[in-house]
Amino acid sequence: MRRLPFIAGNWKMNKTVGEALELIRELKVAIAHVKEVEVAVAPPFTALYAVHKELEGTSIRLAAQNLYWEERGAFTGEVSPLMLKEVGCQYVIIGHSERRQFFGESDETVNRKIKAALAQGLKLIFCVGETLKDREEAKTFSVVERQIEGGLRGLGDKELRNMVIAYEPIWAIGTGKTATPEQAEEVHRFIRGKMDKLHSRGVSEEIRIQYGGSVTPENIKGLMNQPNIDGALVGGASLKAESFSKIVRFKEM
Ligand code: PGA
């Protein structure tokens, strides 16, 4: 089964509108010739519309980093799926570990957000991953399994076709400690096997699973060589056109 590689840059709480436009302009040039890799960027909310305008005529996708599940109403500080669609988002990242750690998101709220995104026609990147303590206590598989079962509760094959899963071990995020390709592959294989149990064979073979956690131009190739690693969710290295474009161009290495 051939899955289209998908490289997404999660800018987190970085880049003013001016800085975002500068980065996108450089990136467009640096990856203009790249074919057969899907690329997305996830700027902060405030830069989405400007980046959307700058991306017109390119195949780079626009992603948001979060959403709220209601369409509108008295929810101070929140942003709805409808609003994200309107500013040009095709994707939204849901359940990132920083949202879970610092903003109290649970498998249940992640599930509500996933359903709301899909109902509005947004595709999504659904993040899972264990802490260092979980890994040391040999709980990696059980934690990831719980996150998948909870996050995907009530969803069928059709919904899964609009989703990408990102496996991001928390101990590897922003720490410079990447999982080895073999460590990542082991969990990716487990996730695909889990999808096979919960869903049809077609879906489990089609669904793309990204790796995230200190991905760099130096380690991307080894990760992408693994059979069940279909792309990357890149944080720090997505903030510069030079490093992000090298990651996108991993096939040229
Ligand atoms: P990092 O972040 O590449 O800076 O480790 C990845 C992520 O959190 O998505």
Taking the centre of ligand 1 as the mean of its atom positions, its distance from the CA of residue 44, in whole angstroms, is 15
In this predicted model, what pLDDT tens digit does every residue of 56-101 receive, in sequence order? Answer: 999 999 999 999 999 999 999 999 999 999 999 999 999 999 999 9
Q: Are 190 and 141 in contact (CB under 8 A)?
A: yes
87 Cβ contact list (under 8 Å, min separation 6)? 48, 49, 52, 62
Taking the centre of ligand 1 as the mean of its atom positions, its distance from the CA of residue 175, in whole angstroms, is 9
- Range name among 57-61, 174-178, 249-253 with the lowest pLDDT average: 174-178
Give the per-residue pLDDT at 176.
85
* Greatest Cα-to-Cα distance within the chain, rounded to the nearest angstrom: 50
Q: Are 40 and 60 in contact (CB under 8 A)?
A: yes
Query: Any bridge partners for residue 94, and if so which?
Result: 126
Gap between the Cα atoms of 74 and 77, Å rounded: 9
* pLDDT of 200 higher than 90: no
Write the residue with the smallest CA distance to atom 1 of ligand 1. Answer: 235
Q: What single-letter DSSP state applies at residue 226?
A: S
Ligand 1 atom nearest the C-alpha of 127 is 9
Q: What is the CA radius of gyration of the chain?
A: 17
Give the per-residue pLDDT at 201.
84
In this predicted model, what pLDDT tens digit does every residue of 162-171 receive, in sequence order? Answer: 999 999 999 9
Q: How confident is the model at residue 215 (pLDDT cuts 50, 70, 90)?
A: very high
Ligand 1 atom nearest the C-alpha of 237 is 3
Q: What is the mean pLDDT of the chain?
A: 97
Ligand 1 atom nearest the C-alpha of 236 is 4
**Residue of 100, 168, 218 with the most ligand 1 atoms within 8 Å of its CB, for mutation:** 168
Query: Is 199 a known active-site residue?
Result: no
Query: Is 96 a known active-site residue?
Result: yes
Catalytic residue among 54, 96, 98, 159: 96
Count CB atoms within 10 A of the CB of residue 80: 18
In this predicted model, what pLDDT tens digit does every residue of 97-154 receive, in sequence order? Answer: 999 999 999 999 999 999 999 999 999 999 999 999 999 999 999 999 999 999 999 9
Element of type H or E holding 51 = helix 48-55
Average pLDDT rounded to a whole number, residues 19-36: 97
Taking the centre of ligand 1 as the mean of its atom positions, its distance from the CA of residue 195, in whole angstroms, is 24
Taking the centre of ligand 1 as the mean of its atom positions, its distance from the CA of residue 25, in whole angstroms, is 22
Q: What single-letter DSSP state applies at residue 57?
A: T
Cα dihedral: 245, 249, 250, 253 (round 10): -110
Taking the centre of ligand 1 as the mean of its atom positions, its distance from the CA of residue 11, in whole angstroms, is 9
Tokens of 121: 């026609």
Ligand 1 atom nearest the C-alpha of 215 is 3
Query: Any bridge partners for residue 91, and if so which?
Result: 63, 123
